[in-house]
């Protein structure tokens, strides 16, 4: 048996290739949209991908199942649970698809895959038990748990409500998740590997571990959320619904396109490198947006193209900025440091459903040709005095609500930067906004976005713990 974790560091997302080395067949579980990576890894290991399986309808990336479904040799395995609202709608008459319900099995060569219905994170969620029959095993080696069970945490049950907008779904989903954890993990042997769908940094949980896999036995002993689910249902529901981070705005669209479908393109495009004049002309068009992908946010603060949005190509900043601030209809122009960054930037956008990347340019080319630049007005937290601000100034805390509750600048308004775009109606353009977070990173992204929309902004850079107070009820 062959097993490989293909990990997306920025989205903290794991896909798995599971192959039978005796027959040369392989399965991909939870692939992202740019599927050439999985085909290349399979070919390098003398395998052919003949099947794709989905644990659930994802919220944080576009599934690659639709791209794989173009190949008539590939069978798509999807959940048959979920009811009217959360059943897959995109497969058509040409799709080679099989719908799985609890206990169903299929074979990849001599490797047995068994579906386990594990609802709670989503109604249709499946986990997959993997048994290497070709290697002589009669017990599972691993369980691919998707967003059901993580290393050190469990899936969040609030996304149908907080991201997809299904009112009243949060608490019932939490109770379903508790039941799934208490009932579905119990029969699994301690030695079985846990292969989760995400690691630390994903917005699909609040305390995910940074190691890529675990075992059922280890999680039974040390996963506090799992232990609480097994011991105290009411306490689990209260705890799992508290302190969850605000999801980026694009999560709602991801749920929709992964259920209903998105155009199959055959892979990400290659945008044209534009001359300065053409780049500026395209940037000035209605419906165009410019993302500045330079890694150093301080370089953006010092000088940037007016109207551009800071989206550093490091960590999760790029995808979170694009997914929180852009709409799928906008034409995207990229400012990069080097041409070798282009493919990665375009793939990151493609993975979250942004296909209209119409051109790019190196920042040095803009600067060296004398294009006027702008500086982001900035004050270090050490020099910031909220009491000295003009009366009409709004102090905006762009951290999460749970961080705000732990302490904040007095009288600050809280809007998580990942949700800022949906709250613009609450922010009159007649006022100046002073934005802060815990370090300046998130506030830089948010300030650049507001500035691109015509707001007067000041970035409060650095840490402001010394100024924070906690509200007393």
User: Is 382 in the same domain as 362?
Assistant: no
Of the three residues 334, 368, 402, the one that is the final residue of a domain is 368
Q: Count of CB atoms within 10 A of residue 275's CB?
A: 13
According to the model, what pLDDT value does residue 245 have?
87
Are 185 and 236 a contacting pair, CB within 8 Å?
Answer: no
Q: What is d(CA 301, CA 298) in angstroms, rounded to the nearest whole number?
A: 5
pLDDT at residue number 206: 67
The answer to whether residues 139 and 243 belong to one domain is yes
In a domain, 472, yes or no: no
The enclosing domain of 179 has a CATH number of: 3.60.15.10
**Last residue of some domain: 316, 348, 368?**
368
Same domain assignment for residues 386 and 340:
no
Q: N- to C-terminal Cα distance for the chain?
A: 58
359 has which bridge partners? 333
Q: Are residues 287 and 425 in the same domain?
A: no
Name the CA dihedral angle for 147, 319, 10, 305, rounded to a multiple of 10 degrees. -170
Q: Which DSSP symbol is given to 273?
A: B
Contact status, residue 122 vs residue 57, Cβ threshold 8 Å: yes
Tell me, yes or no, whether 165 lies in a domain. Answer: yes
Domain annotation covers residue 325: yes
Report pLDDT for 201: 74
DSSP state of 246: P
Quick check: 158 and 122 in contact, CB under 8 A? no
- Whether residue 175 is contained in a domain is answered as yes
| Interatomic CA distance for residues 200 and 7, integer angstroms | 12
Cβ–Cβ < 8 Å for 274, 282: yes
Could you tell me if 284 and 349 lie in one domain?
A: yes
Give 50's Cβ-side CA count (13 Å radius).
14
Q: What residue spans of 232-310 are helical by DSSP H?
A: 233-240, 250-260, 276-283, 297-302
**Angle between the 170-184 and 224-231 helix axes, to the nearest 10 degrees?**
90
Give yes or no: residues 115 and 235 share one domain.
yes
Check whether residue 144 and residue 58 sit in a common domain. Answer: yes
Cβ count near 126 (within 10 Å): 30
**Alpha helix ranges (H) inside 303-454:** 317-325, 342-351, 363-368, 401-406, 441-452
Residues in the chain with pLDDT values less than 70: 206-207, 472-473
Give the C-alpha distances (Å, rounded to integers) separating 114 from 54, 79, 111: 13, 12, 10
Residue 339 confidence (pLDDT):
97
Q: What is the pLDDT of residue 466?
A: 81
- Burial tier of 63 (Cβ tally within 10 Å: 0-12, 13-18, 19+): buried
In terms of domains, do 21 and 141 share one? yes
Domain presence at residue 473: no
Question: Phi then psi for 434, rounded to 5 degrees?
Answer: -105, 115
Establish if 406 belongs to a structural domain.
yes
The pLDDT score that the predictor gives to residue 444 is 98
| φ, ψ of residue 308 in degrees (nearest 5) | -80, 155
CATH number at residue 413: 3.40.250.10
**One domain for residues 235 and 382:** no
Give the whole-angstrom CA distance, residue 293 versus residue 204. Answer: 25
The predicted structure's pLDDT at residue 464 = 85
Is 161 in the same domain as 251? yes
47-78 pLDDT, tens digit each: 999 999 999 999 999 999 999 999 999 999 99
Task: Out of 323, 349, 368, pick the residue that ends a domain.
Answer: 368
Total count of domains within the chain? 3
Is the same domain home to 291 and 360? yes
Query: How confident is the model at residue 472, as a pLDDT?
Result: 60
Helix, strand, coil percentages, rounded to 5, for the chain: 30, 25, 45
Question: Among candidates 209, 205, 199, 360, which has minimal Cα distance to 279?
Answer: 360
Q: Does a structural domain hold residue 270?
A: no
pLDDT per residue over 411-438, tens digit each? 999 999 999 999 999 999 999 999 999 9
State pTM to two decimals: 0.95
What pLDDT score was predicted for residue 469? Answer: 86
Distance of CA 175 to the CA centre of its chain: 24
The CB density around residue 394, as the number of other CB atoms within 10 Å, is 17
Domain that holds residue 314: 276-368
Same-domain status, 181 and 291: no
């Amino acid at each position: 048996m062959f097993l490989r974790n293909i990990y997306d560091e920025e989205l903290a997302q794991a896909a798995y290739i599971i192959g039978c080395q005796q027959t040369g067949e392989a399965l991909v579980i939870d692939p992202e949209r740019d599927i050439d990576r999985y085909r290349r890894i399979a070919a390098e290991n003398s395998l052919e991908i003949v099947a794709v399986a989905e644990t659930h309808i994802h919220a944080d990336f576009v599934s690659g199942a639709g791209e794989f479904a173009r190949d008539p040799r590939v069978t798509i395995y999807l959940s048959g649970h979920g009811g009217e609202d959360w059943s897959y709608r995109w497969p058509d008459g040409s799709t080679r698809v099989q719908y799985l319900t609890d206990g169903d099995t299929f074979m990849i060569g001599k490797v047995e895959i068994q579906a386990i219905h594990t609802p709670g994170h989503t109604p249709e969620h499946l986990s997959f038990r993997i048994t290497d029959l070709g290697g002589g095993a009669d017990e599972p080696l691993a369980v691919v748990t998707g967003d059901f069970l993580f290393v050190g945490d469990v899936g969040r049950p609030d996304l149908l409500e907080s991201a997809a907008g299904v009112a009243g779904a949060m608490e019932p989903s939490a109770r379903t998740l508790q039941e799934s954890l208490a009932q579905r993990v119990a029969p699994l042997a301690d030695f079985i590997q846990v292969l989760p769908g995400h690691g630390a940094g994903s917005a699909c949980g609040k305390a995910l571990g940074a190691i890529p896999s675990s075992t059922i036995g280890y999680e039974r002993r040390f996963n506090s959320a799992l232990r609480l689910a097994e011991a105290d249902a009411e306490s689990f529901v209260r705890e799992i619904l508290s302190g969850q981070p605000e999801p980026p705005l694009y999560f709602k669209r991801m749920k929709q396109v992964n259920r209903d479908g998105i155009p199959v393109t055959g892979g990400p495009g290659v945008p044209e490198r534009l001359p300065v004049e053409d780049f500026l002309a395209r940037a000035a068009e209605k419906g165009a947006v410019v993302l500045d992908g330079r890694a150093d946010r301080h370089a953006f603060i010092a000088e940037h193209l007016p109207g551009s949005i800071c989206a550093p190509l490091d960590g999760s900043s790029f995808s979170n900025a694009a997914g929180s601030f852009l709409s799928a209809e906008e034409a995207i122009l990229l400012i990069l440091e080097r041409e070798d960054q282009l493919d990665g930037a375009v793939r990151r956008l493609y993975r979250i459903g942004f296909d209209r990347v119409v051109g790019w340019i190196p920042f040095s080319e803009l600067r060296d040709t004398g294009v006027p630049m702008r500086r982001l007005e900035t004050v270090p937290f050490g020099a910031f005095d909220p009491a000295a601000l003009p009366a009409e100034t709004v102090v905006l805390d762009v951290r999460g609500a749970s961080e705000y509750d732990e302490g904040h600048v007095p009288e600050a308004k809280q809007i998580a930067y990942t949700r800022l775009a949906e709250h613009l109606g609450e922010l009159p353009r007649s006022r100046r906004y002073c934005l802060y977070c815990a370090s300046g990173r998130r506030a830089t992204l948010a300030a650049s976005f507001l500035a691109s929309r015509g707001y007067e902004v000041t970035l409060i850079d650095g840490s402001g713990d010394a100024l924070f107070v906690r509200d007393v009820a």
